[in-house]
Structure 1
Amino acid sequence: MKVEIFSDVVCPWCYIGHHRLRQAVGLYEGDVEVTHRPFQLDPDGVSSGEPLLSALERKFGGAARVTQMTGHVTGVAAQDGLDLRFDRAVAANTFEAHRLIWLAGRAGRDGDMADRLFRAHFTDGLDVGDPATLATLAAETGVEDTGDGAEQVRAELARARTLGVRAVPLFLFEEKFAVSGAQPVETLVAALREVEARTAQERTVRVPGGEDCDDGACAV
């Protein structure tokens, strides 16, 4: 079964969704081919080394509101064994990070590259928009940065817009069944089984209630 996950490496719910999908694939009885697709919450974002909390406070109206939002998602992530350190995180443009994921995908390593970028941003406090940082992360993951992929990432971002993707994470099964939000592992396993049973039907599987990041904003 083919599963595409649309996400951004600076989206906390995408990190949780990425982690849960990996678990779900391990529990599912069939074969699954997962491909990571790019989505940018802030296409005009600048990698200037600004602390993420400062950017969030400016965007969402102060420290108290941001503390509430980050505390919620940090608690959810901790239950999944993920360490989100918003006090370390750096605001970044993610286009080049997505290009590395695309490059890694040519060798079937896009999941590993995405995982390393998520950890770099949310746990290690690294700037995932910085060229030197990205070069180090690519080398750590065994990805050779040939400089290719920019055109392909732009095309995939355009495809996401054409498909109407406005919030991430979004899981697209067999190019026709969609599940949105950071769903629980058991829900994703059930979705895999349901899609297997419905591959001949032309309708979308929609599972309500998952938390996500909207286009242009992320209420973490």
Structure 2
Amino acid sequence: MTNFKITLYTDPVCAWCFIGHRTLDQAITLYQRTYPGGRHDMFEFIYHPFYLRNTKPEEGRMTLEDAMLAKNGTEAKVLAIKTKMQRIGTAHGILFNYDSKVGSTKLAHVLIQQAGRHRGAEVQKEMVGAMYSMHFEQGGNINNLDELVAVAVKVGVSEQDAHAWLRDDQVGAEVDELARTAREELGVTSVPTIEIGGLRLEGAEDVGGIMEALVSVKEKEIAVGGAQDPF
């Protein structure tokens, strides 16, 4: 049995991270269904903060569409990007809502880290998925305290705990440091970036690309005698 350690450098305000989140799930399902003994393998997810936008915590009034226009300059370019997002999103079961409000993601990252520390990896991963959906499909505000608390409640965290987690300044400082480390020391320049057993994949990737990485890591481990495949 292999325990895959998968590190994800993501930012909840990144649409391609949402796509990558779904792509990774699809690749793991494919691996478990098709690779001999793959259904017995385990997957450990480590979420590493990354800041795409240098925004102040109080910002959060700009819509996703306005942010895309500010970054890309023309409506024609925005339309092309939206068309691509809609096409890829539909293939992953995502319906993008461009009224979503963008802004600082520090609180979102704090909530993700706290979920892992206090409720474990399964709840943390579920929270990440719920957060993406709130922001990108439901027109939510990634920087709004009440909406983030609602995400936490959706995955079984009490309002009281969620508020306490979000007020933890020490974890907030740790998130800032982790984000700095990703850019300045680990060489992460874009998200999503996914690391699987020492292999680094940049971008949302397709299912096949992630599947190849999983198989490569698995077969390398088998070659050195570190795993036995049950049949």
The alpha-carbon distance between structure 1 residues 118 and 199, as it changes in their structure 2 partners (threshold 3 A), is same
**In structure 2, how many angstroms separate the alpha carbons of the residues matched to 1:85 and 1:48?**
16
AA matched with 2:59:
S
Where in structure 2 are the equivalents of 1:1-220 lying within 5 Å?
1-28=4-31, 29=38, 30-44=41-55, 47-86=59-98, 88-106=99-117, 107-108=120-121, 109-143=123-157, 144-145=161-162, 146-147=164-165, 148=168, 149-161=171-183, 162-174=185-197, 176-198=198-220
> Is the contact between residue 39 and residue 160 of structure 1 (CA under 8 Å) also seen in structure 2?
yes
Measure, in 2, the Cα distance between the counterparts of 1:158 and 1:48: 22
Tell me the TM-score normalised to structure 2 length: 0.79
SS at match of 1:126: coil
What is the alpha-carbon distance in structure 2 between the residues aligned to residue 48 and residue 41 of structure 1?
Answer: 14
* 8 A Cα contact 1:173 1:195, kept in partner: yes
What secondary structure is seen at the aligned counterpart in 1 of 2:52?
Answer: coil
Deviation at 1:44, TM superposition (A): 2.2
Structure 2 distance, partners of 1:49, 1:165, is: 28
1:210 is matched with which residue?
A: none
Cα deviation for residue 189 of structure 1 reads 1.6
- 1:127-171 Cα shifts (integer Å, max 9, x gaps): 010111111111112233233321331232122121100011111
| SS class of match (2:7) | strand
Structure 1 gap ranges (5+):
202-220
Deviations 1:18-75 (A, max 9, x none): 1111122233312111122111110325533222212221222132221111211121
Opposite residue 207 of structure 2, the aligned amino acid is V
Q: Secondary structure at the match of 1:32?
A: strand
| Range 41-50 or range 183-192, more displaced | 41-50
Structure number, greater radius of gyration: 2
TM-score, normalised by the number of residues in structure 1: 0.83
Partner Cα separation in structure 1 for residue 9 and residue 189 of structure 2: 10
**Aligned Cα RMSD in Å?**
2.0
Cα distance, 1:163–1:139 mapped onto 2, change above 3 Å: same
Letter in 1 for 2:146: A
Is the 2:60–2:104 contact (alpha carbons within 8 Å) kept by the matching residues of 1? no
Q: What is the identity percentage for the equivalent residue pairs of Structure 1 and Structure 2? A: 28
Which residue type is aligned with residue 68 of structure 1? A
Number of equivalent positions: 199
Which amino acid counterpart does residue 159 of structure 1 have in structure 2? T
Where 1:179 maps in the other structure, the secondary structure is strand
